Amino acid sequence: MDLIIKKGKVYYENRFIDSDIGVRDGKIVKIKKRVSNAADSFIDAKNQYVVPGIIDAHVHLRDMKQSHKEDFVTGSRAAAHGGVTTVLNMPNSDPSALTVNVLRRMDALRKNAVVDIKFFAGLRDNLNEIPGMNDHAAVAGYKVYMTGDSGVSREELVNIFDFFSNKLFKIWLNSGQTHSGDSLPREKFNQKNKNKKIKRIAVHTGDDKPGEIEGIKFVSGLTGRFKIPVHICHISTSEGIEIVSKNPDLTSEVTPHHLFLSKGEYEFDAVNPSLRSKGERPGLWKMLDKVDIIASDHAPHTLKEKEDGAPGFPGLETSLPLMLNAVNKNMIPFERVIGMMSEKPAEIFGLTNKGMIKEGCDADLTVIDLKERWKIRGDDFCGKQKWTPFEGWEVKGVPTHTIVNGRIVMEDKELI
C-alpha cells in the first residue's frame, strides 16, 4: 500500500464504521476493519472521522491579472488547509474564461496546485466557443450571470437555453442578464457532441432580495420550457429555496456567510448577493433541508479593495469548520454536511469517482477532529488574503488531514 489510514470512523454507505482505508496509486483499494501494516505512509485517525474529500463547487481562484488577490497555487493551498480536495473555479476572472485559449492558459496554471481544480466556462456572446470548451476535460459546466458586468439580458438568456436544449450540457446560473451570439448549426453540433458528457449550467440570478427571487422564477420557467437542468448559485432567501425545491430541473446552493452573517454586523460586509437581515437568516436555516449543496463562494480581495467596496470574502479555510461547529451545536446533522459538501456536488457536476468512500474511487479524503476547539484567525490562513469576517470566532471541529488522489497534502493541520 502507498497509504493506510488507521482506526478512523469512516463514512461508508451512509453511516460511520470503525475501519482502516488502504490506498494505492491514488485510489481507495481496501476498506476493512484492519488493513495489513505494509505501507509507505500511515495516518492514525483514532477518534477522528474520515469523510469523502470536500468539494467546493463555487470558488474564485483569481490568478492571471488578479494574482495579487489569489492565484491557483495559494488558492489550492487554502483549499487543502480547509479540508477541500476539489474546487470548481468560476469564469469571471481577468481574462474571463469565455474561450478555449483562456481555458488552456488556466489549465497550465493548475499544474502546480495541491488540490484538483475544475472549471466553469462562462456563457455570454461566445456560443461558437462551446464545442471546443466542451472538449476540455477540466470543464465541469457553464455559468451564466444575470447581473453585473458579466451579465446577460433575459432575451439573451432565452437564446442560451435554446442553444443548450439538446441536453448535452447542464447550466449553472447566477441570476442576471445575458448576451446572445451566433450558434453553430444544431445538426452539426449534435452530431459532433452526441456522445459527450452532460455538463450543468449554473446561474447567478440576482443580488438584492427581489432580484434574486424574480431571477429564480424566470429561470424556473425556462427550465420548464427547455427541460435543461440548472444549478442556482448562492441563494440567500428562503423564498428562493422554496421555488427551487419545487422544480426537479433545478438544484440549489447556499454559502456559510449567508447562513452565519447578518447585514450590518461586519464593517466590510459587501457581497453578492447581499447579506440578509438577522431576522431573515432563521428562515434560511429552516429551509436548509431542501438545499442541495453548501459552497464557500471564496472571493478574495485585498483589504484596500474591500475598504473600497469590493464584494466577497475569503471562504475556503472557514467553510467546513463553520459547518462542523454547526454540527456540534446540533444545528445540522454531520451526515447532512457530508452530503451537501461532498456527495451532492460530485453528483450534480458529474465528478466521477469523487464524493464517496468506496473501493475503486479516487482517494480524496478529509480527516476531521470533531472535538477540537480553536479560534479562526486570518493570520493563520494559507491563501493570500489574511482577513475574514469570522475573525476571532471560536469553533469546535477542524480538518486535520487532507488527502488528494492518495497524496497527503495536509497532515496534523499543517500543509506539506
The answer to whether the CB of 318 falls within 8 A of the CB of 324 is no
Amino acid at 215: G
State which H helix or E strand residue 12 sits in. Answer: strand 3-12
Q: Is the pLDDT of residue 281 over 80?
A: yes
Catalytic residue among 71, 207, 297, 369: 297
CA–CA gap between residue 142 and residue 139 (Å, rounded): 8
CA–CA gap between residue 315 and residue 390 (Å, rounded): 10
Point out the least confidently predicted range of 73-82, 212-221, 285-294.
212-221
Point out the least confidently predicted range of 186-190, 276-280, 342-346, 395-399.
186-190
Could you say which DSSP state residue 134 is in?
H
Distance of CA 80 to the CA centre of its chain: 13
The average confidence (pLDDT) of the chain is 91
Which pairing describes strands 230-232 and 250-254: parallel, antiparallel, or unpaired?
parallel
Is 297 considered catalytic here? yes
Q: Is the pLDDT of residue 184 over 60?
A: no
Per-residue pLDDT at 169: 55
CA–CA gap between residue 317 and residue 378 (Å, rounded): 9
Cis peptide before 95 (omega within 30 of 0): yes
Q: Is the pLDDT of residue 187 over 60?
A: no
The answer to whether the CB of 40 falls within 8 A of the CB of 360 is no
Domains and CATH numbers, the chain: 53-355 (3.20.20.140)
CA–CA gap between residue 174 and residue 201 (Å, rounded): 9
Of 52 and 192, more confident: 52
State the cell numbers at 123: 456563457
Per-residue pLDDT at 163: 86
- pLDDT confidence band for 192 (50 / 70 / 90): very low
Comparing C-alpha atoms, which of 50, 53, 55, 12 is closest to residue 345? 55
Average of per-residue pLDDT across 47-56:
99
State which H helix or E strand residue 59 sits in. Answer: strand 54-59
Render pLDDT for 298-313 as a digit per residue (tens, 0 to 9).
999 999 999 999 999 9
Average of per-residue pLDDT across 103-116:
96
Comparing C-alpha atoms, which of 240, 321, 250, 320 is closest to residue 288? 240
